[in-house]
């Protein structure tokens, strides 16, 4: 699945938005960063920290990007086993940490 086309160039920056999501592991967080970089997405203020203390491997990720949520979600959909990230990404002010099971990745039953 291809991400929606981005209508601006690097010279035409949009407003930065803060996003928060949860990943199952730090490896998933690293996969997300690599995916964003390879897609040419502009992002900064990256933070990845344990989501529930040290007793679970879940990672809470926060970053700022000028990409819209639908573009970020489409990129996350390409990450193998990225379902938790896909189901939890939200603008930071709307983030609950809860998985939206109504939000299915393309191709899922």
**Buried-exposed string 62-100: b where 16+ CB fall within 10 A, e elsewhere:** ebebbbeeebbbbbbbbbeebbbbbbbbbeeeebeeeee
DSSP 39: T
Which pLDDT tens digit goes with each residue over 6-43? Answer: 554 554 667 999 999 999 999 999 999 999 999 999 99
According to CATH, the superfamily of the domain at 17-93 is ACT domain (3.30.70.260)
pTM of the entire predicted model: 0.79
SS3 96: coil
Q: Any idea where the domains of the chain sit in the sequence?
A: 17-93
The pLDDT confidence band at residue 57, using thresholds 50, 70 and 90, is: confident
What six digits make up the tokens of 99?
């998985």
> CA-CA distances (angstroms) from residue 54 to 11, 28, 46, 108?
41, 17, 20, 31
DSSP 52: B
pLDDT at position 14 is 79
């Amino acid at each position: 699945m291809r991400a929606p086309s981005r209508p601006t160039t690097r010279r035409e920056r949009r407003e930065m938005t803060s996003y928060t999501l949860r990943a199952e592991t730090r490896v998933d967080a690293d996969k997300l960063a690599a995916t964003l970089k390879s897609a040419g997405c502009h992002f900064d203020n990256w933070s990845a920290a344990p989501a529930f203390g040290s007793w679970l491997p879940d990672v809470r990720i926060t970053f700022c990007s000028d990409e819209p949520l639908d573009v970020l979600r489409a990129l996350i959909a390409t990450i193998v086993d990225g379902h938790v990230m896909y189901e939890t990404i939200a603008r930071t002010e709307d983030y609950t940490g809860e998985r939206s099971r109504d939000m299915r990745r393309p191709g899922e039953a």
